[in-house]
A and B are shown apart, each in its own frame.
Chain A
Amino acid sequence: MDLTPYPVRVDGVRVRLGGRWVVDEVDATPPAGRLTGLLGPNGAGKTTLLRTVAGLLVPDGGAVLVGDDSQDVRALPRRERARRVALLEQESSSTVPLTVREVVALGRTPFRTLWGADDDAEAVHRALATAGVAELADRLWSTLSGGERQRVHVARALAQEPSLLLLDEPTNHLDVSAQLSLLGFVRSLGTTTVAALHDLNLAAAFCDHVLLLHRGRLVASGTPEQVLTPARLREVYDVDADVLVHPRTGRPVIALAGRAEADA
């Protein structure tokens, strides 16, 4: 599957929701074609930032610029935007009795005219195959396991043929092996991807770049080694942790010793 990775730049974005700055002056440049982890405790503003980058929320300040010509994502027509940017929500569920193929075909919505698009079945097919869920195509979505559902959601996003893929906690509720395989697969896509993640070790193992949010502000960005330091983890997550080096992969490993207060 050929996806053209999109450059994306978050430029001084501020979002005010419910009388509070949920995202405050965030500047970030997730590298094109790479997997960027968006980290931060609950309520740090990860979901809001992802929705803003997706063009679904209007920032109260700043802008999200995408593509080679740095267009404001809000200035793109809706359908045009949906052909470039795919967002997978957290806990996305449906009571409609859809088959997996039908769920993935939803990703073709922005390409569809009133009379249908010729490329539809082909693109759905490619997305199913790429996400490794082709054999589930005729199952009802409601009968799938959590891991299968996430893969199907990714396939739906791939059917949009996105240049920018935004994932909100895609590994939630997955078992360890499913988490590893999902992130490994997403990284191998080679499109610009930003994934909100809770698990710091997963982020450290898979992400090329990480953004650390705390109370709406970006407190650090860079490689996992640069960002995930014991001091920052204490400041942001309120934990006492050591950062080790994995003996085989050389990636950072966060070893938690306890809460920061208990230690003090």
Chain B
Amino acid sequence: MSTTTSEPAPTRAAQDRADGVPAAPARTPLAVLLAVGVAVLVATVLVAVTIGPADLSVSEVARSIGGHLGLDVVPVERLRDAIVWELRLPRVLTAAAVGAGLALAGAVMQSLTRNPLADPYLLGLSSGASLGAVAVLVVGVGLLLPVAAFAGALAALAATLALARTGGTLTPGRAVLAGLAVSQLCAAGTSFVIFWTATGDSYREILSWLLGSLAGSTWQSVAISAPAVLVVGTVLVLAGLRLDAFAFGDTAAAALGIDVDRTRWTLLTLVALLTGAMVAVSGAIGFVGLVLPHAVGSLTGPAHRRLLPVAAVTGAVFLVWADTLARTVFDPRELPVGIVTALVGVPVFAVLLRRRGGSAWT
């Protein structure tokens, strides 16, 4: 083997044969997966914007966007331009950002807690956000909804971590149990507020928020969710590379030179920030963060270098289409997108469960 090092690097297959090692089953290179994913995402955004009560063409959409970006294009008729730029594009972009954020946060949470059923809301984030949002919607606490939801998410996370740490170190199992307790408490608080004060009108608004909805998306939503995904998400992907070393547990990770506690705190904080921002603009959309990491994992393999970026792109594409369905299937009425993600997510989950045969979920 040492003789091969000085020569031009042989292909891995040739090298493998020389040593009698069969070549690994070819996994699609990350660059290819990402290139395809991003291309599909761009196409998805352009096409999804055309779909809706007013029929638009991809060319109109592209021209409208181009016009607003200051490109020299044939202008689009004003009303149609407003549909693209004011209504549909912010919503589609929010869906893409939220989908990417949830899938990424879910993938990290599953590895971090070594629990395949973990999702971004596991540590009480969504129920805390719900309580904050419901307080605004019903009681009229004088805060912007996204701010209240974000504050609620962080408060719930703080409570979870404080509870998980009492009398011991932060372990995945303790964090999950503490998150469960905090979730239940917040859910009880939310129910109480609704039961005590909600009227018929606010009821539907609350329900749609609790189920997760992108109906109210504006450029403000994009301004919250997109930078959160791009900035926090990038840091999370880089920090998440260390998660590979946790495959055989904490001690094994420590023996490989990983600072286990610091890694866990860093990742939990990043996931909380990211999820908090997502929940703030869209409510608690379920199943994206639970199912997509598994589905993507069966394509990329478990290495986080591959899994995390591909999960983010796939989540973006998935949620854009789920939301497009949610707003068009029963037109003119809208479904909360959380119902669509559940309707798609549960069967996918069932298929994955069958295929895995319990190997990872015993």
Q: Which of A76-84, A209-217, A245-253 contacts B (4 or more CB under 8 A)?
A: A76-84
B250 to chain A, nearest CB (A): 10
CA distance A126 to B5 in the complex (A): 12
Q: Report yes or no: A83 in contact with B257, Cβ–Cβ below 8 A.
A: yes
CA distance A158 to B137 in the complex (A): 59
Q: Report yes or no: A81 in contact with B257, Cβ–Cβ below 8 A.
A: yes
Which one, A56, A101, A126, A142, contacts B254 given CB within 8 A?
A: A56
Determine whether A208 belongs to the interface, using a CB cutoff of 8 Å to chain B: no
Q: Report yes or no: B257 in contact with A95, Cβ–Cβ below 8 A.
A: no
Q: Report yes or no: A128 in contact with B21, Cβ–Cβ below 8 A.
A: yes
Determine whether A186 belongs to the interface, using a CB cutoff of 8 Å to chain B: no
A6 to chain B, nearest CB (A): 15
CA distance A222 to B23 in the complex (A): 46
Q: Report yes or no: A89 in contact with B248, Cβ–Cβ below 8 A.
A: yes
Q: Given A109-B257, A114-B238, A129-B1, are A93 and B24 also a contact pair (CB < 8 Å)?
A: no
Q: Report yes or no: A82 in contact with B302, Cβ–Cβ below 8 A.
A: no
Q: Report yes or no: A78 in contact with B251, Cβ–Cβ below 8 A.
A: no
Chain A residues 71 to 123 lying within 8 A of chain B, measured CB to CB, are 78-83, 85-87, 89, 92-99, 101-103, 106-107, 109-110, 114, 121-122
Determine whether A235 belongs to the interface, using a CB cutoff of 8 Å to chain B: no
B362 closest partner in A (C-beta): A95
CA distance A98 to B300 in the complex (A): 11
Interface residues of A (CB under 8 A from B): 51, 54, 56, 78-83, 85-87, 89, 92-99, 101-103, 106-107, 109-110, 114, 121-122, 125-126, 128-129, 134-135, 137-138, 142, 160
Determine whether B256 belongs to the interface, using a CB cutoff of 8 Å to chain A: yes
Chain B residues 238 to 270 lying within 8 A of chain A, measured CB to CB, are 238, 241, 244-245, 247-249, 251-252, 254-259
Q: Report yes or no: A110 in contact with B1, Cβ–Cβ below 8 A.
A: no
B252 to chain A, nearest CB (A): 6
Q: Report yes or no: A106 in contact with B248, Cβ–Cβ below 8 A.
A: yes
Determine whether B359 belongs to the interface, using a CB cutoff of 8 Å to chain A: yes
Chain A residues with CB below 8 A from B255, complex form: 54, 56, 82, 85-87, 89
Q: Report yes or no: B302 in contact with A96, Cβ–Cβ below 8 A.
A: yes
Determine whether B200 belongs to the interface, using a CB cutoff of 8 Å to chain A: no
- Total residues of chain B contacting the partner, CB 8 A: 36
Chain A residues with CB below 8 A from B72, complex form: none
B111 closest partner in A (C-beta): A96
Which one, A85, A95, A107, A134, contacts B114 given CB within 8 A?
A: A95
Determine whether B142 belongs to the interface, using a CB cutoff of 8 Å to chain A: no
CA distance A107 to B255 in the complex (A): 9
Q: What are 11 A-to-B residue pairs whose CB atoms are below 8 Å?
A: A54-B255, A56-B251, A78-B259, A82-B256, A95-B114, A99-B301, A109-B256, A125-B1, A128-B21, A135-B22, A137-B22
Mark interface residues in B214-255 (1 if CB within 8 Å of A CB, else 0): 000000000000000000000000100100110111011011
Q: Which of B12-20, B79-87, B172-180, B343-351 contacts A (4 or more CB under 8 A)?
A: B12-20
Q: Report yes or no: A134 in contact with B256, Cβ–Cβ below 8 A.
A: no
Determine whether B303 belongs to the interface, using a CB cutoff of 8 Å to chain A: yes
B357 to chain A, nearest CB (A): 11
The 3 A-B pairs at the shortest CB distance, nearest first, are namely A82-B257, A110-B257, A79-B257
Determine whether B25 belongs to the interface, using a CB cutoff of 8 Å to chain A: yes
Which one, A81, A97, A125, contacts B21 given CB within 8 A?
A: A125
A38 to chain B, nearest CB (A): 17
Which one, A92, A135, A138, contacts B24 given CB within 8 A?
A: A138
Determine whether B32 belongs to the interface, using a CB cutoff of 8 Å to chain A: no
Determine whether B69 belongs to the interface, using a CB cutoff of 8 Å to chain A: no
Q: Report yes or no: B21 in contact with A98, Cβ–Cβ below 8 A.
A: no
Chain B residues with CB below 8 A from A54, complex form: 255
Mark interface residues in B319-362 (1 if CB within 8 Å of A CB, else 0): 00000000000000000000000000000000000000001111
Which one, B24, B247, B361, contacts A94 given CB within 8 A?
A: B247
CA distance A201 to B296 in the complex (A): 49
Q: Report yes or no: A106 in contact with B20, Cβ–Cβ below 8 A.
A: no
Mark interface residues in B1-42 (1 if CB within 8 Å of A CB, else 0): 100010000001001000111111100000000000000000
Chain A residues with CB below 8 A from B259, complex form: 78
Q: Report yes or no: B247 in contact with A125, Cβ–Cβ below 8 A.
A: no
Q: Report yes or no: B248 in contact with A134, Cβ–Cβ below 8 A.
A: no
CA distance A82 to B25 in the complex (A): 30
5 other contacts beyond A82-B256, A125-B1, A125-B19, with CB at 8 A cut-off? A79-B257, A96-B302, A109-B244, A126-B1, A137-B24
Chain B residues with CB below 8 A from A89, complex form: 248-249, 251-252, 255
CA distance A98 to B22 in the complex (A): 16
